[in-house]
Amino acid sequence: MKKSRIKAAAIMCASVATVMAQDLPQFGVDPIPDIIKAMTLEEKVNFVVGTNRVLELPPDAAPGMPVRPFPDFSKLQQDADESSEADIVEAVTGFTKGRVKGAAGDTYSIPRLGIPSFTLADGPAGLRIDPTRKGDKNTYYCTAFPTGTTLAASWDGELVKNVTEAMGNEVKEYGVDILLAPGTNIMRSPLCGRNFEYFSEDPVLAGNIASAYINGIQRNGVGTSIKHFAVNNQETYRNGINAVLSDRALREIYLRGFQIAVENANPWTIMSSYNKINSVLAPANKYLLTDILRGEWGYEGFVMTDWWSEGSGADQTAAGNDMLMPGTQRQYDQIINAIKDGSLDEELLDRNVENIMRVMLRTPTAKKLSYSNSPDLKSHAATAREAATGGMVLLENKDNALPLRPKQKVALFGNASYDTFVGGTGSGNVNRAYKVSLDEGLQNSGYTIDTNLGNGYKNYIAAEKANKPADNFWSIATVDEMAVTEDMAKNAAENCDAAILTISRIAGEGGDRKLEKGDWYLSDTELSNINNIVNAFHKEGKKVAVVLNMGAAVDMADWKELPDAILHAWLPGQEAGNAIAAVIKGEVSPSGKLPFTIAKRYEDYPSAANFPYSTNPATTYYTEDIFVGYRHFDKAGIEPLYPFGYGLSYTDFSYSDLKVSPDEESYNISVKVTNTGEKAGRETVQIYVKAPGKDMIKPVKELKGFAKTKEIKPGASETVIINIPRKLLASYNEYDSVWVVEPGMYEFIAADCAADPGLSSQIEVK
Ligand code: BGC
C-alpha cells in the first residue's frame, strides 16, 4: 500500500465519523451510561482490549468487524515506502496505534462516539518512550530518575514527590495519559530481578513511598498504574508461577503497601500481575480485584492486565480486570464469544467499560490538551541528581574515611566506575539523553582521576564490549570485572591519595538473579581486587572506599571489614556520577537508610528455602508467612549484617522527648532529634510497634511510621511528628476474615534502624 492510499483511507474514515457523530452521544460531553448504550458489543470489547493485536494474528475475521482479518503485516510494510508500522496499522485497521512512539500501549479509538485513543507508557524510573522518530529530527529523550529502591532508601516523601512531579511533567509534555508505575511489590528475596523497581521488604515503607510517588505524578493531571498487583515477587516463570500463601500474609505483607497507596493516593489505575495467587491467575482473580480491591478498599479507578497476561480474556473481564493490555485478538474473541454463548454477562463488560471511561475522562487526551514535546530536561536532571544523593546509604565509614578531602587524586577501580549503571533492564529502563559515570562525576567535583588506571579500564571495557551483543530490551552488555593485580594496586597506591572501587550488578525484568559467583556472590576477581587494593592502599596509610552500584545487595560478610568505607549508591539515574561524587565529597551528608535487611548469609533470608531457582516446580510456597525481612530476623534471633532501616551519616543524632498521644483514630508520636555531631545532616526516625501478641502471633515489632527531618545544623534540634492510624495496628484474622486490633499494652519505639532499641513508650490500646 502506498502512502497516498493510506492517507485517503484515513481521510475517508474521518469524514464518515463526522457525519455519524451528529446524532450520537459523545465522550466527554454526554453521560458515560449513554455512551455505553450507544456502543456495539464489538466496540465495547475493542475499548477494553488494547490496540496491539497485530502481534497475534487471528485465524478468522470476527463477525461484523470491518477491521478483520488482519493484513499480512510484513508484506504491507515492504510496500509502504516510508510508512511506519503505526501508519499502516491505523490506515488498514482503523486502530490509532502509536501516537507516542515507544509507548507500551494504546487504547482503541471510536471516532463516531468521540472516544479518542489513550496512551500508556512505562515507568517507573522515568517515562519510557522512543527517543527518536523516523523522519523527525526532534528527539524525545526522558530523564532517567533514580530507581524505585533509591527513592525508597531516602525515606523521604517530599523528595519522592519532587521527583515524580518532574517525571509526571514529562508524561504530560510527551502526550502520554498514564504512566505504568510505581512498582510496589515486596522484596521477598534479594534475588528478585525487579527489586530495583520496587521499594522495600516492608509494606508501610513501600506504601508510603508509593503514595508520594503517585501524588507527584498525578498532580500533573496524568495517571499512574501501581503494579504488579499482587505477589509478583519473582521473575522466574513470572507468567504463571503459583504463589501459595496464607490470607494473612497476603493481606498484611503483600497487599498492605497497595492498600496504603489506594487509600492515600488513589492511583488512577492498577496493573494486575502475571502470576497465580493460590492457584488463580491474578488478572482473573475476583477475590483480589473485585472483593478486596473494590469491595473492601472502595477503589474507583480501573485495573489493567500486565502485558500479554496468561489466561482467558473472558475470565479476566468477569473478575474485574477492566482493561487487557496490550490487547490480543485471542482476548477479543474470548470476550465476544463468552458474551454470545452466555457464559459472560455483558453487564460485567459494561461495568469495566464504565470504570475505564470514568478515569479516561480525566486524561489530557480526553481534555484535548496540547503538549509541547519539550519538557525541561535540564531542571529535571537537577532534580534527579538531588534525589539520588538523598537515597544513598553509607554502610561503613571507619575513622571518617569519607568524605574525601577535595581536589585529591583518586585511584578509581571497578568497571562501573567508568560505565556506571544508572537503571535496570526491561520496561523499567529509560531512554535518556546521557548518563554521568562516577569517573566524570568525580572530575566534575574537582577530583583528579589516575589516568593510567582510567585509560586501562576504558580500553578494557571497550575491547570486551566489542565482542558482546548490543544492548537490547532484556539485557545490556556486561563485562567481567577487570583484574587488578598486586602491582597495579601498588602503583596506584603510591601515586594517588585514596582509592574508590565500584562493585556493580545489573538485573531486570524477565529473570531473577543467580545464587552464583559474579551475581549474589562476588566473583573471584572481585574478591581478589578488593584484597589487592585494600592491602596496597593500607600499606601506604591511604583509604579505600567501596561504592555499591546495584538495585539490591550482594554477599558482603566476607569482605565488608576490608575497606574503610562502603556507600550503597543503588541504580541512581542518569546523574549517577555527579550524585555519588556529591556524597563522596561531603557536599551532602548521606541520609539514606536501607529499605531491606542485608543478611550475613543468603541462607538467613526467610525466602531462601523456597525461592524459585528454576521454572520447575512452578509453585512457590511462602512458608515464612508474614515473617518477611526484619520480621523474620527478629523472630529467629538472627543477627543481620546490616539491619533494615540502617544507614550512617557524616554526623550523629540523638533522640529525646518521645511522646505518644492517642486520639480517636490514630496515634501522634513526637520525637526530638538533635544533631550531636559536627556536620549538618538529616535523620530518618522510624517508629516500630510491639503489639501484646496474646490473641494472635505477632512479629516482635513492625514499622508503623517514619519521618525524615530537614537538614539539622550541628547542635540544633528538630521535633518530628508521625501519625499512625489505629487501623495500622490491626492484624488479619484469616479464620474470621476480619482485621483485629488486639487490646492491651503496646510499645512504641522511636529508633534509627530495626536493630536499635531506641526510645520507647508504652500505651494501652483498647
Ligand atoms: C512489565 C510491566 C510493564 C509492561 C509494559 C510488562 O512486561 O511487566 O511492568 O509495565 O510490560 O511495558
Q: How many CB atoms lie within 10 A of CB 38?
A: 16
- Give the pLDDT score at 484: 98
Catalytic residue flag (residue 306): yes
Mean pLDDT of 571-595: 98
Residues forming a β-bridge with 179: 121, 224
Q: Is 307 in the pocket of ligand 1 (CB under 6 A)?
A: yes
Q: What are phi and psi of 100, to 5 degrees?
A: -110, 110
The protein residue whose alpha carbon is closest to atom 8 in ligand 1 is 306
Q: Is 394 in the pocket of ligand 1 (CB under 6 A)?
A: no
Given 177, 306, 315, 634, which residue is catalytic?
306
How far does the centroid of ligand 1 lie from the alpha carbon of residue 183, in Å?
Answer: 10
- Give the pLDDT score at 606: 96
Lowest model confidence (mean pLDDT) among 18-27, 220-229, 530-539, 613-622: 18-27
How far does the centroid of ligand 1 lie from the alpha carbon of residue 570, in Å?
Answer: 22
Which region, left, alpha or beta, applies to residue 426 given φ > 0 means left and ψ of -120 to 50 means alpha? left
- Give the pLDDT score at 168: 98
Q: Could you report the per-residue pLDDT of 184-209, keeping only the tens digit for each?
A: 999 999 999 999 999 999 999 999 99
Give 186's Cβ-side CA count (13 Å radius): 27
**Closest ligand 1 atom number to CA of residue 181:** 10
How far does the centroid of ligand 1 lie from the alpha carbon of residue 575, in Å?
Answer: 25
Q: Is 180 in the pocket of ligand 1 (CB under 6 A)?
A: yes
Order of strands, sheet of 759-765, starting from the edge strand that comes earlier in the sequence? 702-708, 684-690, 744-751, 759-765
**% of the chain at pLDDT higher than 90:** 84
Residues counted in the chain = 766
pLDDT at position 428 over 80:
yes
- Give the pLDDT score at 749: 98
Give the span between the Cα atoms of 369 and 175, in whole angstroms: 9
pLDDT at position 16 over 50:
no
Q: Is 304 in the pocket of ligand 1 (CB under 6 A)?
A: no
More confident residue, 53 or 36: 36
The protein residue whose alpha carbon is closest to atom 7 in ligand 1 is 307
Q: Could you report the per-residue pLDDT of 656-690, keeping only the tens digit for each?
A: 999 999 998 999 999 999 999 999 999 999 999 99
**% of the chain at pLDDT higher than 70:** 91
More confident residue, 448 or 76: 448
pLDDT at position 93 over 70:
no
The protein residue whose alpha carbon is closest to atom 4 in ligand 1 is 307
Q: Is 129 in the pocket of ligand 1 (CB under 6 A)?
A: no
Distance of CA 747 to the CA centre of its chain: 33
The protein residue whose alpha carbon is closest to atom 3 in ligand 1 is 427
Q: How many CB atoms lie within 10 A of CB 670?
A: 16
Mean pLDDT of 529-541: 98
The protein residue whose alpha carbon is closest to atom 9 in ligand 1 is 427
pLDDT at position 65 over 90:
no
Q: Is 202 in the pocket of ligand 1 (CB under 6 A)?
A: no
Mean pLDDT of 517-544: 98
pLDDT at position 101 over 50:
yes
pLDDT at position 15 over 90:
no
The preferred substitution site among 51, 180, 303 for testing ligand 1, maximizing ligand atoms within 8 Å of CB, is 180
Q: Could you report the per-residue pLDDT of 322-376, keeping only the tens digit for each?
A: 999 989 888 999 999 999 999 999 999 999 999 999 999 999 999 999 999 999 9
How far does the centroid of ligand 1 lie from the alpha carbon of residue 124, in Å?
Answer: 10
Provide the pLDDT confidence category of residue 69 given band limits of 50, 70 and 90.
Answer: very low
**Closest ligand 1 atom number to CA of residue 122:** 10
Q: Could you report the per-residue pLDDT of 219-257, keeping only the tens digit for each?
A: 999 999 999 999 999 998 888 899 999 999 999 999 999
DSSP string, 363-421: STTTTT----S---HHHHHHHHHHHHHHH-EEEEEGGG--SPPTT-EEEEESHHHHS--
Q: What are phi and psi of 264, to 5 degrees?
A: -95, -25
How far does the centroid of ligand 1 lie from the alpha carbon of residue 623, in Å?
Answer: 28
- Give the pLDDT score at 367: 98
Mean pLDDT over the full length of the chain: 92
Q: Is 225 in the pocket of ligand 1 (CB under 6 A)?
A: no
Mean pLDDT of 503-519: 94
Q: Is 227 in the pocket of ligand 1 (CB under 6 A)?
A: yes
Strands 744-751 and 759-765: antiparallel
- Give the pLDDT score at 84: 52
pLDDT at position 643 over 60:
yes
Question: Which residue, 444, 582, 570, is CA-closest to 504?
Answer: 570
Q: Is 386 in the pocket of ligand 1 (CB under 6 A)?
A: no
Provide the pLDDT confidence category of residue 474 given band limits of 50, 70 and 90.
Answer: confident
pLDDT at position 126 over 50:
yes
- Give the pLDDT score at 695: 82
Lowest model confidence (mean pLDDT) among 426-435, 470-479, 653-662: 470-479
pLDDT at position 87 over 90:
no
Lowest model confidence (mean pLDDT) among 26-30, 153-157, 613-617, 736-740: 613-617
- Give the pLDDT score at 645: 98
pLDDT at position 95 over 80:
no
- Give the pLDDT score at 85: 52
Lowest model confidence (mean pLDDT) among 40-54, 352-366, 463-477, 524-538: 463-477
